[in-house]
Structure 1
Amino acid sequence: MKSFLKKHWSNILFVAFLALLIFPQTRMPIQVFVQRIISFSPSEKAEAERETLHDYDWSLQQLTAEGVNFSQSQGKVTIVNFWATWCPPCVAEMPSFQKLYDTYGDQVDFYFVTSEKSEKVEKFMEKNGYTLPIFLQTFEAPKKLESFVLPTTYLISKTGEIVIDEQGAADWNSEKMRKLLDQLLGE
């Protein structure tokens, strides 16, 4: 038996790891951990490739049940993130967003948009100690902000330029991102 274990220990570990990925209770934490390891700073779009958002008419519902219109952010630096509590890459990037929000929350408009039920989102936010501004999507987003991939995040300048259009997890609290926000806020 000892020789069998010595000979096949790596295969046994691999099978055990795969078994852990089968069960949702262990799969999600493993996927979140891996996503955090492989997340890099989001990529800024080249100026020639940037689209400009002109349609800011988008009704959203805050988690607190108050309705807001996205048009209140026209002329401001804005971050829009589409996410879900069941999405490992979304969950993986939330701590970096929380740190960014803690620093820039009074200068940048943040929208964390989900289609999930408010009760589920409230439990998730409370469990993790997040204070991010959550919005429930009740109407379609403007065409230039439509996405079918979670997470998708947009950074919009004061003039409406979509400076970042990032799909997948990213490190939003990177030095590169902070420099970009400072630059956009200074314009």
Structure 2
Amino acid sequence: MKWTKDHLYNGFFLILIAVLSTKPGKVFFTRLLAMGPTVIEQSEQKYTGDMHWELIGLNTPNFRWEQAKGEVVFVNFWATWCPPCVAELPSIHQLYLVYNKKVKFVFVNGQSWPEIQGFFKEQNIDLPSFQQGSPTPEILQTQRIPRTFVIDRNGNIVIDEEGAVNWYSESFRKLLDELITQ
């Protein structure tokens, strides 16, 4: 059989489809395509108000939303089995290492601590992880993951992103620096 251009293209696309059907392939291509987050126009930002939300700390103390008053908060809903969640974790981890003393990070996951802990060990990361202690406030509810909210010191949702994002982008770090100094 003589190989033609069509055979090569078809072979390439079959290999691409095979790679994309695996979790590592999905993670790789999602990470490759991830962009920085988009800031919500000030007139479109929603105010979180006096939310009552309690979270059970898995590797960190329990958390009540009232504790975050006046702080910049990064809330991420994720799971270990979710390829886009896994794809964005390296950039989130880098961000956490630099900003964890200036920003309150809240990572919400419905899985058991042994599952999360094993995943963290495998990925060589550690992030403050929580499970729901009370229902998620309506303004932060989501049907898809990953879903990330960045809330400013005044309680306004500045970023609401669904899907994998490069959270360590220069533009996002600049925004965080501005939010911290406000």
2:78 matches 1:83: yes
Q: Which residue does the alignment assign to 1:176?
A: 171
Are 2:54 and 2:63, in contact at CA under 8 Å, matched by a contact in 1? yes
Q: How many residues align?
A: 182
- Give the deviation of 1:56 after TM superposition: 3.0
- Give the deviation of 1:138 after TM superposition: 3.7
Q: Which residue does the alignment assign to 1:51?
A: 46
Are 1:152 and 1:167, in contact at CA under 8 Å, matched by a contact in 2? yes
Identity %: 38
- Give the deviation of 1:65 after TM superposition: 7.4
Distance 1:96 1:140 in 2: 28
TM-score, normalised by the number of residues in structure 1: 0.91
Q: Which runs of 5 or more residues in structure 2 are unaligned?
A: none
2:110 matches 1:115: yes
- Give the deviation of 1:10 after TM superposition: 2.1
Q: Which runs of 5 or more residues in structure 1 are unaligned?
A: none
Distance 1:183 1:19 in 2: 43
Query: 1:34/1:7 Cα in 2 relative to 1: closer, same or farther (>3 Å)?
Result: closer
Q: Which residue does the alignment assign to 2:136?
A: 141
Q: Which residue does the alignment assign to 1:103?
A: 98
1:121-180 CA-partner distances (Å, limit 9, x unpaired): 111111111121111124321111111110110000111010001111111011111111
1:60-80 CA-partner distances (Å, limit 9, x unpaired): 111137432122111110000
Are 1:43 and 1:164, in contact at CA under 8 Å, matched by a contact in 2? yes
Partner secondary structure for residue 181 of structure 1: helix
Structure 2 residue identity aligned to 1:11: N
- Matches for 1:13-52 after TM superposition, within 5 Å: 13-22=12-21, 27-52=22-47
Q: Which residue does the alignment assign to 2:122?
A: 127
